[in-house]
Chain A
Amino acid sequence: AQSVTQPDIHITVSEGASLELRCNYSYGATPYLFWYVQSPGQGLQLLLKYFSGDTLVQGIKGFEAEFKRSQSSFNLRKPSVHWSDAAEYFCAVTSGTYKYIFGTGTRLKVLA
């Protein structure tokens, strides 16, 4: 079955520190991969997407993610976290069916 795993439910980092959020997927077809961010009471905003090509993709707000097929991973990174990055982050996967499957999310807390 297709699935997405985000192993960290909560992560706390200090402002200015680097960040890595983990995402692993199980998907039989060639995956298309995404990261979304959700602030409290809001909808989800697309941060970045991977369809093919360069395995390191750049997104909005200074985020990047790297697709590693051998590890079935698509981890999200940011070199220096800002207090405004505190939110919940979701990894998602789809393929040619365009049915999006989401992970359970990682809640990021940023310490001043």
Chain B
Amino acid sequence: DAGITQSPRHKVTETGTPVTLRCHQTENHRYMYWYRQDPGHGLRLIHYSYGVKDTDKGEVSDGYSVSRSKTEDFLLTLESATSSQTSVYFCAISEQGTGAFFGQGTRLTVV
């Protein structure tokens, strides 16, 4: 399995609070991604990174920000959590020609 670690694996937070999810890789892959998975919607791209400090928005980026200060770490921040952001969040990594490899996911509940 690709070396991808997501933390935390589970989190319950209150509406309006900021939340940061961390993705750490040991594969030295260039590309990193944050997706959310919701029933009936499959996986939707939130943000992705194509290098250190290089990021771009996905299809559902509103309310989320990201940072990548090192190759191995990609942080996802919910600036002010809302109930609609209750979801399972997946980090993924890829390199040219490899396909994307996924972490185990973070289950986030906003109450």
Contacts and interface: CB of A to CB of B under 8 A. Distances in A.
Is the pairing of A and B real? yes
Interface residues of B, number: 25
Contacts of A75: none
A43 interface: yes
A83 interface: no
A93 to B, nearest CB: 11
A22 to B, nearest CB: 14
A103 B42 contact: yes
Nearest to A47: B99
B50 A98 contact: yes
Interface residues of A, number: 20
Interface in B7-44: 31, 33, 35, 40-44
A102 B42 contact: yes
B58 A102 contact: no
A104 B103 contact: no
B40 A104 contact: yes
Interface in A50-105: 51, 90, 92, 98-105
A25 B4 CA distance: 28
A49 interface: yes
Interface in B62-111: 90, 92, 94, 96-97, 99-105
B100 A34 contact: yes
A44 interface: yes
A100 B40 contact: no
Contacts of A42: 104-105
8 contacts: A42-B105, A44-B92, A45-B102, A49-B99, A98-B48, A99-B58, A100-B94, A104-B42
Interface of B: 31, 33, 35, 40-45, 48, 50, 56, 58, 90, 92, 94, 96-97, 99-105
Interface of A: 6, 34, 36, 42-46, 49, 51, 90, 92, 98-105
